[in-house]
Amino acid sequence: MIKQDLQAILLYLKSQNVDIDSNEFKFQVESHPDYPTLLSFVDALDFFNIPNVATKVTFDELDSLPDEFIGLLGAEYAMPFLFFIKKEKDHFLYNDEKKLKKISKDELSELWRGMVLLAEKPNSEIEKKKTVKNTYISIIFLLFFIILYSFSKSLVLCIFSALSTVGLYLSFEALKTELGVESKLSQTFCSAIPNSDCSQVINSKKSGLFNYVKFSDISLWLFSSQLLGAFFFSILGNISSFTSYSLVVLIISVPVTIYSIYFQYSVEETWCPLCLAITAIIYIQISFLLTRNGFTISSDNLILFSFSFILMYVLIYLLKPIYIEQKLLKEDYIKSIRVSKNYVFFKNNLLTSPKYHFEKQLIILGNPDTAKKISLVTSPFCGFCEEAHEIVDNLLEKHPDEITINIRFNFSEKVDEKMKELFLRLTEIYLNEGQNSFTTAIKIWHSTKNLDGWLNKYGKCSDAKKITSLLNEISEENHLQGLNFTPAFILNEYRLPNIYDRNNLKYFVQDWIEDNI
């Protein structure tokens, strides 16, 4: 189940029409070293480039807030949580997990903790990630129904299989809910009716039967076996036998569905809309098949039908533990990422890394007067340096007035004349035209890697002797300190520890800027 704070943020973002990958957002929040503080949510929003602000607001200033916002609420002596709050005339609505509950202004004042989070839709719409996996699944099911109808010429079989496909999809959603991985569909579905909580029902320990085998497992087995059986029997052209056996299995499954309904109503006293929808599909399938004429049974077809069920049982038995193991590995990964993003650990490792002191500097980006300087030892012909320059560009975009970037080329006069010319001209562009022209020129070089084309565009260096001398001074200082490999990041005088990926810098720069080291 998604925790209260996360649920509140996701409901709020949805109300603001902000399109976001909820699973990725959840990962970014939970892997934050300060989770579950407000900072973890703010940084996660920053990660998605969603404009936001977290600020203190007294209750007297409530009327100045937008109609929808995130507020920190908590009863006296109780731990406060983030809530999605919505103004409605003379009262307010706040989320209790997935449901909105009514509260008066006086009641809200007793819970108010004085912190508010606001966000807005970014200027450029965040494109929703479309995974290759989902595309493949769609193609497979499309081909499946084409094959099904081509061999069987039976609309009855196609309709029945379509119901099985919906049931299979809902069964996967139930399985994900069991494992604590909620999608947008399951969140919407499981809050569709009053007094509902899919996770509470699916993960309940009160059930004798469902302690040993989950309802999601049974439905996965049932619907996947139906689809496999439909495929086999459509090829054989024996649809009547398949529907007959399917009807028998569906009738046998009715006691399980009745027990599920009884368990939700009498034991847990809360509803699972996913379970109810799966049950409804089973009853629809039974009703649909009862209207068909004919009932055919043969031992040969029974063997094939049984094989379909046995095969799917074995596959589910083998694959579900793998799925659970992946989830556990992801949880461990989140914990390790949380540690790796911890600034205290980063600082301790940074202060024990090798120190470098530079007397000379040539290409300076950002604010030259700040005390926080990041030196980048680089080369235009280094394969990994393109990524390093992208990191620098992102840091300058977020902290233009707070950091200095010292670009230090590892230059050699022994290289090919055209390669040498690239070093010289890039440096001259910076000296004559400034940092914007320099960053544009180096971006164009990294994007094309066409030396002749780049030189045709920018021309040759007009003062090769002077620029060569300046580059040699920088390069010689690099080599004297053992900085022969590129790229290398040095934060003030400390080299970025080897255990940290260059991309990890974005997690620590703000704290590093504020730290007096």
How confident is the model over 335-379, as pLDDT tens digits? 667 667 788 888 988 999 999 999 999 999 999 999 999 999 999
The predicted pLDDT at position 126 comes to 43
Q: How far apart are CA 327 and CA 20, in angstroms?
A: 21
Is residue 177 over pLDDT 90?
A: no
Across 433-454, b (16+ Cβ under 10 Å) vs e yields: eebeebbebbeebeeeeebeeb
The pLDDT score that the predictor gives to residue 28 is 81
Q: Dig out the tokens for 291 from the structure.
A: 């209207």
* Mean pLDDT in residue range 11-36: 81
Map 379-397 to HEC letters: CCCCCCHHHHHHHHHHHHH
pLDDT at 182: 66
Cβ atoms of 27 and 334 closer than 8 Å: yes
For the segment 76-104, the average pLDDT, to the nearest whole number, is: 82
Average pLDDT of the chain to the nearest whole number = 86
pLDDT at 24: 76
Decide: helix, strand or coil at residue 463.
Answer: coil
Strands 488-491 and 494-495: antiparallel
> What domains can be seen in the chain, in order of their start residue?
4-119 (3.90.70.10), 132-335 (1.20.1440), 346-514 (3.40.30.10)
Determine the pLDDT at residue 495. Answer: 94
The pLDDT of 420-443, averaged and rounded, is 94
* Contact assessment for residue 392 and residue 446, using Cβ atoms and an 8 Å cutoff: no
Q: What is the DSSP string of 356-376?
A: ---S---EEEE-TT-S-EEEE
Task: Give the C-alpha separation, 220 to 315, whole Å.
Answer: 11
Q: Which helix (H) or strand (E) holds 56?
A: strand 52-56
Q: Rounded to two decimals, what is the model's pTM?
A: 0.55
Measured CA to CA, the distance from residue 3 to residue 438 in angstroms comes to: 47
Q: Which one-letter amino acid corresponds to residue 95?
A: N
DSSP class of residue 70 equals E
The pLDDT-based confidence of 249 (bands split at 50, 70, 90) is: very high
pLDDT digits (tens, 9 = 90+) for 184-234: 677 777 777 888 888 888 888 776 666 667 888 899 999 999 999 999 999
pLDDT at residue 27 greater than cutoff 80:
no
Phi, psi for residue 407 in degrees, rounded to 5: -85, 120
Question: Is residue 148 within 8 Å of residue 242, measured between CB atoms?
Answer: no
Q: 258: which 2 tokens? A: 């009745």
pLDDT(21) > 90: no
Compute the average pLDDT of residues 82-101. Answer: 83
pLDDT at residue 51 in the model: 84
Tokens of 138: 């769609």
Report the pLDDT value the prediction gives residue 227, as an integer from 0 to 100. Answer: 93
DSSP-assigned letter for residue 364: E
Instruction: State residue 456's pLDDT score.
Output: 93
Question: What are residue 404's DSSP bridge partners?
Answer: 366, 373
pLDDT at 295: 65
pLDDT of residue 1: 40
Residue 421, amino acid: E
**What is the reported pLDDT for 176?**
84
Give the CA count within 13 Å in the CB-facing half-sphere of 328. Answer: 6
| 3-state secondary structure (DSSP) of residue 115 | strand
Nearest Cα neighbor of 279 from 295, 290, 264, 268 is: 264
Task: Return the higher-pLDDT residue of 21 and 253.
Answer: 253
Q: What pLDDT score was predicted for residue 124?
A: 45
pLDDT band at 507 (very low <50, low <70, confident <90, very high): confident
Q: What is the pLDDT of residues 44-79, one digit of tens each?
A: 888 787 888 888 888 888 888 888 999 999 887 678
Q: Is residue 445 predicted with pLDDT exceeding 90?
A: yes
**CA–CA distances in Å: residue 500 to residues 168, 196, 386, 475:** 42, 45, 18, 25
Q: Please list, in sequence order, all residues whose beta carbon lies within 8 angstroms of the beta carbon of residue 164, skipping any fewer than 6 positions away.
A: 223, 226, 227, 230, 285
d(CA 108, CA 248): 56
Out of 16-30, 176-190, 394-408, 493-507, the most confident range is: 394-408
